[in-house]
Structure 1
Amino acid sequence: MSNYKFIENGSVTSPRGFVAGGVIAGIKPNNTTKRDLGMIFCEKPCAAAAIFTKNRVKSDTIYVTQEHLKNGVAQAVIANSGNANACNPDGYEKAEQMCALAADALGIAADDVIVASTGVIGQALPIEPIEKSVGALKDSMTRDGGTYAAEAIMTTDTIKKEWAVQLTLGGKTVTIGGIAKGSGMIHINMGTTLSFVTTDAAVSAEMLHSALIEAADVSYNMVSVDGDTSTNDTLAIMASGLAGNDEITEKNGDYALFVEALTAAFKAVAKKLAADGEGATKLVIGKVSGAKDESTAKVIAKSVICSSLVKAAMFGADANCGRILCAIGYSGAEVDVKKIDVSYRSAKGEILVCKDGMGLAFDEDKAKEILIESEIDIIINLGDGNGEAEAYGCDLTYDYVKINGDYRT
């Protein structure tokens, strides 16, 4: 039985003390219909932490946020879509300006603002639309405004990613909520594309940072849409402590419960990120069991869902087990090829296509019926131990090339 429950229509404002909003600032040229500037605010300073992209090319928003979080405190987030503020000569200055504008509007210190951007890389971020809109942005924030903040960070996303879960810590009801964005340029190697998490639990900044790493490692870090790790990936969390639980300052039982709930939420969002991959028609989940350890299982699961040939086969509903075996073989993991079993599963059933490393004769029509569904499990048993892992990907379609062929223009 789970120690947590998901909240229907939950978002980043579900925890006590938080409001959020989003407005149309016009950061992207000719944008008059889509929110592109969002803000999250807490009524009190929060313990805070974040993890970031492992890409050596980073947006200056990351460097500014890293500096601001050195004291483990934050009270607000300001984020824009339409421009990544990456690879620009004045990027750091613009990121600091965004923080100062948010701080002035909210009456807080600029050092207590987390800043993030997403969009086109290598183009100067226009600060004027943000200057003109920050007042309206502040006025837009409400307890129901999490959904508008979620919309404001979308780029090629087709759906908003927002959630909230509740659990009990020390007899107190605690809520964790969040928003995320991501559709393309996703091969996550830290946490996620952009994701902002709030909680009313009392948790120290050190434990928040540890919890993010643990939860992201088996969820967001197991997502790949196209093999490209973004320059802007930021996963940040703020904890208000307003739930009134005893502060979590060590890895005790309450910490374990907090990480369990956070991980469950992150896995749910990871599936949404993969399913909403640019041009995708199917969510593809690589499920590996029987590995000698978890690390081996993770490497193989990720290798399979990252394979362009596997992704193309899923688009075409082609039950080609050779592509799965090939991806396992070049993953770098140590496996006994003669023990590998592979099957495909969806809402229409399951079919075994490989046994002991050898392809089987199977009903092609039944396989097609299974693989034409919108969510596919690729089930791999290595027969070599108790290690297991999941990775989340999508199919590779014609539309992915269309979207990215003219993304900038």
Structure 2
Amino acid sequence: MSEKKKEIMGVGKNVLLLGVTSLLTDVSSEMIHPLLPLFIASIGGTATAIGIIGSLGEFVSSILKIISGHLSDKKGRQLPFVFSGYFLSSATKIFFAFSTQWYHVLILKTIERIGKGLRTAPRDVIIANSKRALRGRAFGIHRAMDTLGAVFGSILALILFFFLGFGFREIFLIGGFLGFLALIPLLHVKDVKRKPIATSLLVTISELPAKFKIFLIIVALFALGNFTEWLFILKAQSALYLDMDYRTSIAYALGFYILFNIFYAGFSTPAGTLSDRIGRKKILLLGYFLFSIAAIGFVFFDSIFLMILLFVIYGLAKAFIEGTQRAFASDLVPESIRGTALGTFHLIIALATLPSGFIAGFLWDSFGAETAFEYASIMSFFAILLLAFFREDRF
């Protein structure tokens, strides 16, 4: 069978199988994820605690991303890391239901993110193995399927919580067990076997192109203000709680998060395809700009109608940023060290995200939620300035 016939929607079967795995994983995760900040607050966690939990897990995850990315380059295989990472995350999520203190969630979230760290860079290498001219589309399709799972998961959480009266813990258990379904498509993914490399991690990092390293500085600057979406959800819920009962305010916050994910999923593939045609830089600049608008909007507005608009803008921003950043990073490095490069890319983001969560939580607890969102908007604006002067080249 020709390579052309093996393609579906213009990309290889591997991309779609990994997309289905991510979709099922996010159905499971997003039944839990949008409720976790509200659950943490209900068991005594402050905004600072929520910010730290949201960013520490990503920090640990991304340390492992560079290690797993390098090991996948060194061994010339990706699939063992992908499978073990998804399995660990699925096994851990069940235990959120048994947490009684906020630091229990901190520990479990960190372990669950270790699984993400094991799988992400090797998985991105398999996706990046798509034809260069379609790489943005491949990442966009994967992000869209991933986020579509988030939409389904959030809707399930809303139905179970608001309409069927389930509590946080029961929903966490159901979501945790659903996660194991995501392992099934992986059994049909074909590994991308390449010639192993013999260099050490530090040597490989030193070989990364200078242009790639400059790009990492820009991405890190943006990540310093791109704190966890948990604080967006908490801001919406706490503002609405002033005018309605607790469960209804949570239901609205979940509804806003679903809307965010619908736009995130719906525009990820078009954004990726457009970046293939007109360049990654223009799409990424638009994404950073939209994020800055969404963040500053949360400073001034708290009505239901305007929150709907802000979550739409936030979803569009994520659609233009997430897949495009990965495709951009992939373009800037040779294939032989792409696993290490993508692992480094994720690590740099995490190194910036860790203080971002703490800073945002501290600003929230000390000066009010509005100050945290002002900080996010300012950091995004600085990233826009740097990216505007960055020259776009490809390998």
Q: What TM-score does the superposition give when structure 2 sets the normalisation length?
A: 0.28
Bigger Rg, which one: 1
Task: Give TM-score scaled by structure 1 length.
Answer: 0.27
Name the structure where helix makes up a greater proportion of residues.
2
Q: Which has the higher strand share?
A: 1
